[in-house]
Structure 1
Amino acid sequence: MSPLGIGTTVTLNNGTTIPQLGLGVFNSSTCKDACLKAFDDGYRHIDTAQLYDNEEEVGNALKSSSLPRSSIYVTSKVWDPQHTRKDAYKAVVDSLKRLQTDYMDLYLVHNPKSGPSGRHQAWLGLQDAVAEGKIKSIGVSNFTPAHIDALMKSEGVKIKPVINQIELHPWNQQKEISSYCKKENIAVQAYSPLTQGKKLGDPVIREIAGKHGKSPAQVVIRWVLQQGVVAIPKSENPNRIKENIDIYDFELDENDLLRISKLDQGMKGNIGAWNPFAYE
């Protein structure tokens, strides 16, 4: 495995790159401050969404930072009520206004709830925004292989998703989706990699953490990155924001990886609201 570092990126299927570690800002009550702290600690990737109602705060952080806009990777997402071609395109325009930027690096269809037609129409709207330079890359979130296959066979679809953002961590390793995405050259991005703290007391993780002199959260993030997956752990605690990026001075060995692989509970280990397979 190539050494991981603070500047490690993943190359997407359109030739662009995404920082492998980012900051998630779902339900962040101090979003601007969290982003600025993350920038100071070396993060160069922020993941937000229309649903989170904090795009404007992310934009304020971008404006307040001394970092050039081109050095920060910004992702947002369109929620399912906007899954028409016109509304998805408008969602992009609205996100850009709130983020106070001329372009977004990545924009996702946030969920598959709108069904085959809605997903198709939303994708066409995002393709329109790509054609106008408003977005560099487009992808999906909470999609299964069947959702992506159907989308790619739909009329007028010319752009393949660059990424699929899903809940992924040692207790829900998403092997079916991950295997499919690897075969199709679609990057996998893990949200809630720290299980919102619910699983970090696991004795296996705690033992491995003690072995390396790291926290359970650091072990889990390191595990995600060693899978080649993009991770966006959320925190607004300054100490934890720093801790979550301090994971480049150790490496999980083969025995660590084997032990963690046995923690997988499949979708029974799902700690979020989303089971992608529940939607046609």
Structure 2
Amino acid sequence: MSPLDIQSACTLNDGNRIPYLGLGVYASSTCTKACLTSFDEGYRHIDTAELYGNEAEVGVITFIQLPALLLDNCLPRSSIFVTSKVWDNKHTRQETLKAVSESLNCMQLEQIDLYLIHNPRSGPTGRHQAWLGLQDALREKKVKSIGVSNFTPAHIQNLMKSDGVTVKPAVNQIEFHPWNQQKTIVEYCKKEGIAMQAYSPLARGQRLGENSVISEVAKKHGKTPAQVLLRWILQHGVIAIPKSEDPGRIRENAAIYDFQLDDEDLSEIAKLDAGQDGNVGDWNPWEHE
């Protein structure tokens, strides 16, 4: 991978580009403030979802009120990458397409950069129908790219064999951090040209202060444990979307481009993998057929 900075982006298999660092806004009580702070720190990528209940805040504050809020430093819509997702209670072709339209209306956007199936829980038929709906949204130019979340290789392989499926997912968003490295999924998606995106990249902070390996690497580079984790993710070619509402943490999470983990660091961190036993979220992709 070439040298990175906060403007670095990954080219997706459809030719579109997504910034490697984004702001997650799941359960964000101060979504507006967090988005504006992130833009001030150089972020250009916001990850939301229908389920999060803050699409309107992301859209209205980001793209309508932004010029008035930032005055001479306003950002054009084309410079901001927005991801949203359809929940599993809308996995029919018609309902998924309708969900995309509802997200567009909610965010008052003409087009969403990336739209994902939020999880695979609806089963083969539901996943197939939802994907057909996303293909329709792509064809109608309601979205630029489409992808999935929490999908295993089998989920993707079965989807691609289904009737009417002509578009490969551009992105697979999964929990990914040193304690759950999802090697099988990551290796498969990289082989297939599907970009990987990490949610809960900081393991929700549950292990940051207690792990001696991460602490030693952080001390070695004069960085925080959180910065080490995010740098580790980027050096694996994976997109990271850490959530934070604290301006200091948002700033800290962006300060990861002036150092690089060496082979020794990467080797030691690789030993932390506990597979699904290292999961900090509610999703185990392998539990859903």
TM-score range, shorter chain: over 0.9
Does residue 104 (structure 1) correspond to residue 112 (structure 2)? The answer is yes
> What is the CA–CA distance in structure 1 between the aligned matches of 2:38 and 2:65, rounded to whole Å?
13
Q: Tell me which residue corresponds to 2:191.
A: 183
Instruction: Say which of 257, 265, 268 aligns to 2:266.
Output: 257
> 2:152 is matched with which residue?
144
Aligned partners of 1:49 and 1:55 also within 8 Å: yes
Alpha-carbon distance, 1:100 to partner: 1.2
Match of 2:16 in 1: 16
Aligned to 1:135: 143
Residue of structure 1 in register with 2:281 after alignment: 272
Query: Which 4+ residue blocks in structure 1 deviate beyond 6 angstroms?
Result: none
Match of 1:211 among 211, 217, 220: 220
Residue 228 of structure 1 corresponds to: 237
Residue pair 1:172, 1:268 contacting (<8 A) in 2 also = yes
**Distance in 1 separating the partners of 2:239 and 2:65:** 26
State which of 238, 242, 252 in structure 1 corresponds to 2:247.
Answer: 238
C-alpha separation between the residues in 1 aligned to 2:260 and 2:65?
35
Match of 2:249, SS state, is helix
Counterpart of 1:275, as a letter, is N
Cα pair 1:168 1:190 within 8 Å, conserved: yes
Aligned length: 280
Listed as ranges, the gaps of 5+ residues in structure 1 are none
Unaligned stretches of 5+ residues in structure 2: 67-73
- Secondary structure of the residue aligned to 1:2 is coil
Paired residues of 1:32 and 1:60 also in contact (CA < 8 A): no
The 3-state SS of whatever aligns with 1:252 is coil
Contact 1:12 1:18 in 2 (8 A): yes
Deviation (angstroms), 1:273: 0.2
Alignment root-mean-square deviation, CA: 0.6
How far apart, in 2, do the equivalents of 1:59 and 1:261 lie?
Answer: 38
Structure 2 CA distance for aligned equivalents of residues 152 and 61 of structure 1 = 37
Whole-Å separation in 2 of the counterparts to 1:171 and 1:12: 26
How far did 1:64 drift?
2.2
Q: Distance in 2 between matches of 1:73 and 1:2?
A: 21
Residue 61 of structure 1: how far off its partner (Å)? 2.2
Please give the per-residue CA displacement for 1:71-118, whole angstroms capped at 9, x wherever unaligned: 000000000000000000000000001111100000000000000000
Structure 1 contact 111–141 (Cα < 8 Å) conserved: yes
**Alpha-carbon distance in 1 for matches of 2:94, 2:194:** 26
Distance 1:98 1:234 in 2: 21
Give matches, 1:41-190, under 5 Å: 41-62=41-62, 63-65=64-66, 66-190=74-198
Kindly indicate whether the alpha-carbon contact (under 8 Å) linking 1:33 and 1:61 is maintained by their aligned counterparts in 2: no
Shift of 1:6: 1.1
Letter in 2 for 1:17: R
